[in-house]
Amino acid sequence: MKVALAQISSHLGDVRKNFDLHLQYIQKAKKKNADLLIFPELSLTGYTLKDLVEEVALSPDTNPLFDELKARSHDISLVIGFVEEKERGLFYNSAAFLSEGKILHVHRKVFLPTYGMFEEGKFFAQGKNFHTFSTACGNTGMMICRDFLNYGACYLLFAGGSDIIIVISAAPGRGIQAKEAYETNRMWELMGETISRFSTSFLVYCNRVGFEDGKHFAGGSFIYNPMGQLMAKASYLDKELLLQEINLDDIREVRKKWPYKRDDRPEIILEALKRIIRNYED
């Protein structure tokens, strides 16, 4: 199976322009025979939206642009980032998985960073679930950017049986150093390596590039295999279509040696969590 990551730079607040950009990348990825094409967080809208959130929000079930994207998902599965108006007046930072002309799943970002330079909690409603769903690309779980830095969220996709964990991101680079990378590039890669290795599943991270209000999105999209080995990595600065062949049978191979999945005990974790929560409610 061939996975493609569209490391693009979206136009802030211009859904129509971004839609056209998506079509270009879909065409490119199809030419390269990709089975799955992943776009970054808020790929249809841009990231630093602030009060523009309500203007660019859409409902994927009724939106005509989404109908066109669905129509293009027959021979390639797509992951799209967008602002979703799920309930009237509630806006989510969402990721949709499109395949066979349908929306298979929408993940709504749970952990909305609201500190320092981030203010998502001011503008978005919080998602409530991490769900593993079945696709032609295997059992799939999705996370959005900051979700991935919560290892409880990663655990839920592992416990849910994800073969492939997809993270879409609009992560600004922070911390210049002597090395040719931001300090934060290492943070994402460390998480990619760790989660892929200890969930024994594929980890696909698609970040964006470009600038918004001086924030520099630091690319570096990557794919790790279930052994925790880096398979492909995009540039930290440039637009790119990153392509990588992956084989889901690798999961079977690695789980023979490292049976973390077999030995997992979600019921014990759940009971322990309940006890922790009960204690802090006292």
Partner 1 sequence: MKINGPFVEKILTAFIKEELSKFNFKKGILGLSGGLDSSVCAILASKALKPNNVISLILPYGEAFSEDVKDAKEFAQFLGIKSKIVDISPMVDAYFSRYPTESRIAKGNKMARERMSILYDFSAREKALILGTSNKTELLLGYGTIHGDIACGINPLGDLYKTQLKQLAKHLGVPEKIRKKTPSAGLWVGQTDEKEIGLSYDEIDKILFQLVDRRMPKKEIIASGFKKEALEKIISLIKNSEFKRKLPPIPKISARTVGHDFLFPYDWDK
- Which residues are near partner 1 by CB under 8 A? 9, 11-14, 48-52, 173, 175-181, 210-214, 216, 236-237
**Closest distance to partner 1 from the beta carbon of 93 (Å):** 15
Q: Looking at beta carbons only, is 179 or 262 nearer to partner 1?
A: 179
**Closest distance to partner 1 from the beta carbon of 154 (Å):** 27
**Closest distance to partner 1 from the beta carbon of 23 (Å):** 20
Q: Looking at beta carbons only, is 18 or 244 nearer to partner 1?
A: 18
**Closest distance to partner 1 from the beta carbon of 92 (Å):** 19
Q: Looking at beta carbons only, is 55 or 253 nearer to partner 1?
A: 55
**Closest distance to partner 1 from the beta carbon of 239 (Å):** 11
Q: Looking at beta carbons only, is 86 or 216 nearer to partner 1?
A: 216
Closest to 48 in 3D by CA, of 229, 182, 238, 210: 210
Q: Looking at beta carbons only, is 27 or 177 nearer to partner 1?
A: 177
